[in-house]
């Protein structure tokens, strides 16, 4: 729970977190090393100096540290954990659903663990989606269209195998499809950041919600255009939000564009933990005001109501969380966190 300077309590759902193992022991090859190094680049270039971790801390952290950073030091009430396998880079995967599920067990009621699949697996992908539903009752998945697999360097949401997977998700009620459209890993030959495939699947799968992580930041303009037309397309703010510290003016312009085109009902806060920690992000976001000239130019405002929606209420709606009931439940089951 975040308590504002005015004493108001704001319910926070962190829409994008990870529990990864990028340690040298788990790295399979140079790509594994470069992947976690790249994450660290994001961490170090956009974090406030007093929030910097060492490379060692960053590569692998304990479940207790995660609980502490999110729920004790941090203001999160709940967090969505995204699974990212990357088995071509990491011996045991970067963060598989097994690893995430085990971590989440330590704090009942706090985590929503999402699955992941790779449509290039064909029939096996369909079987795996059944397994995710039956074993973990997942409500969402995180897809990396850019993930390497053998000699393939990426896929599109509109590929026939992908359509079959999305059909199955819709049928099983795995309704929230988070799609990584953003920096870091990229397909080889395609326009790495093209978001147009989202447009097609959003039209064809009205029973699914598509949450575009990082708002397709390298293609924010294209993303905005798609989100205007598709009622079931949402934007995740991870990567865009940390600009609030180092480049507040850019952040003001980016959030203004998003508010204008996408709207306050369709944006989700996410810390991208452990790339960033939620406390400073939430504090700065709550206290942020769009400069007057940008407000005028764009004709938008970031009101308290908008902030409440972005920080938690929008995600609660997507994941069918009754916020008032959840508050009571969390109050009655205090955190069990080991001393740091």
**Binding residues for another protein (CB under 8 A):** 31, 34-35, 37-38, 40-42, 44-46, 48-49, 151-153, 183-186, 188-193, 217-221, 224-225, 239-240, 243, 245-251, 253-254, 257, 260-261, 284, 291, 293
Closest approach of Cβ 14 to another protein, in Å? 21
> What are the phi and psi torsion angles at 241 (to 5°)?
-65, -40
What is the smallest separation between the CB atom of 158 and another protein, expressed in angstroms?
A: 14
Minimum CB separation from another protein for residue 191, in Å?
A: 5
Token pair of 187 as six digits: 């397909």
C-beta closer to another protein: residue 38 or 328: 38
- Compare residues 129 and 259 and give the one whose CB is closer to another protein: 259
Distance between CA atoms of residues 2 and 61, nearest Å = 24
Nearer to another protein, 185 or 315 (CB): 185
Residue placing its CB nearer to another protein in the complex, 43 or 178: 43
CA distances from 38 to 33, 69, 88, 149, 295 (A): 9, 21, 16, 20, 34
* Beta carbons of 68 and 337 less than 8 angstroms apart: yes
**What is the Cα–Cα distance from 146 to 134, expressed in whole angstroms?**
27
Nearer to another protein, 174 or 274 (CB): 274
Burial class (CB in 10 A: 0-12, 13-18, 19+), 90: buried
> Which C-beta is closer to another protein: that of 106 or that of 248?
248
Choose between 73 and 283: whose C-beta lies nearer to another protein.
Answer: 283
CA pair distance 209, 166, nearest whole angstrom = 11
CB of 101 to another protein, least distance (A): 28
CB of 3 to another protein, least distance (A): 21
Distance CA 198, CA 170 (A): 15
* Cα–Cα dist 29/298, whole Å: 47
The answer to whether 138 touches 175, Cβ cutoff 8 Å, is: no
CA 293/CA 65 separation, integer angstroms? 41
DSSP symbols for 241-255: TTHHHH-HHHHHHHH
Q: Using alpha carbons only, what angle is made at residue 98 by residues 94 and 99, rounded to the nearest 5 degrees?
A: 50
Q: Which two tokens stand for residue 163?
A: 């359509």
Q: How far is the CB of 257 from another protein (least distance, A)?
A: 6
- Report the alpha-carbon distance of residue 103 to residue 82 in Å, rounded: 12
Measured from the CB of residue 122, what is the shortest distance to another protein in angstroms? 16
Q: Cβ of residue 339: shortest distance to another protein, in angstroms?
A: 32
In the complex with another protein, the residue whose CB is nearer, 71 or 144, is 144
| Choice between 205 and 285, CB closer to another protein | 285
Q: How far is the CB of 149 from another protein (least distance, A)?
A: 10
Asked if residue 195 lies in contact with residue 179, where contact means CB atoms within 8 angstroms, the answer is no
């Amino acid at each position: 729970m975040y308590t504002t300077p005015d004493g108001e309590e704001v319910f926070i759902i962190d829409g994008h977190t990870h529990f990864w193992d990028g340690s040298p022991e788990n790295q399979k090859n140079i790509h594994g090393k470069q992947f976690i190094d790249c994450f660290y680049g994001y961490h170090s270039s956009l974090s406030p100096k007093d929030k910097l971790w060492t490379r060692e801390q960053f590569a692998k952290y304990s479940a207790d540290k995660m609980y502490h950073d999110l729920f004790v030091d941090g203001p999160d009430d709940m967090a969505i954990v995204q699974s990212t396998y990357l088995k071509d880079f990491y011996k045991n995967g970067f963060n598989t659903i097994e690893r995430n599920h085990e971590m989440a067990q330590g704090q009942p009621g706090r985590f929503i663990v999402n699955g992941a699949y790779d449509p290039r697996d064909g029939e096996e992908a369909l079987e795996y989606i059944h397994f995710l539903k039956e074993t973990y009752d997942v409500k969402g998945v995180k897809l990396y269209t850019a993930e390497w697999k053998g000699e393939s360097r990426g896929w599109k949401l509109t590929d026939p195998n992908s359509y079959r997977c999305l059909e199955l998700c819709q049928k099983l009620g795995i309704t929230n499809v988070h799609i990584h459209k953003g920096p870091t890993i990229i397909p080889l030959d395609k326009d790495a950041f093209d978001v147009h495939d989202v447009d097609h699947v959003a039209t064809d799968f009205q029973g699914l919600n598509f949450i575009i992580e990082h708002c397709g930041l390298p293609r924010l303009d294209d993303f905005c255009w798609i989100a205007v037309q598709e009622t079931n397309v949402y934007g995740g703010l991870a990567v865009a939000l940390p600009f609030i510290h180092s480049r507040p003016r850019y952040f003001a312009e980016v959030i203004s564009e998003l508010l204008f085109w996408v709207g306050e009902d369709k944006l989700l806060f996410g810390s991208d933990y452990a790339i960033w920690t939620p406390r400073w992000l939430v504090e700065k976001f709550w206290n942020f005001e769009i400069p007057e000239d940008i407000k005028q130019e764009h004709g938008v405002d970031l009101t308290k109501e908008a902030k409440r929606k972005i920080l938690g209420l929008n995600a609660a709606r997507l994941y069918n969380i009754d916020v008032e009931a959840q508050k009571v439940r969390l109050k009655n089951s205090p955190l069990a966190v080991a001393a740091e």
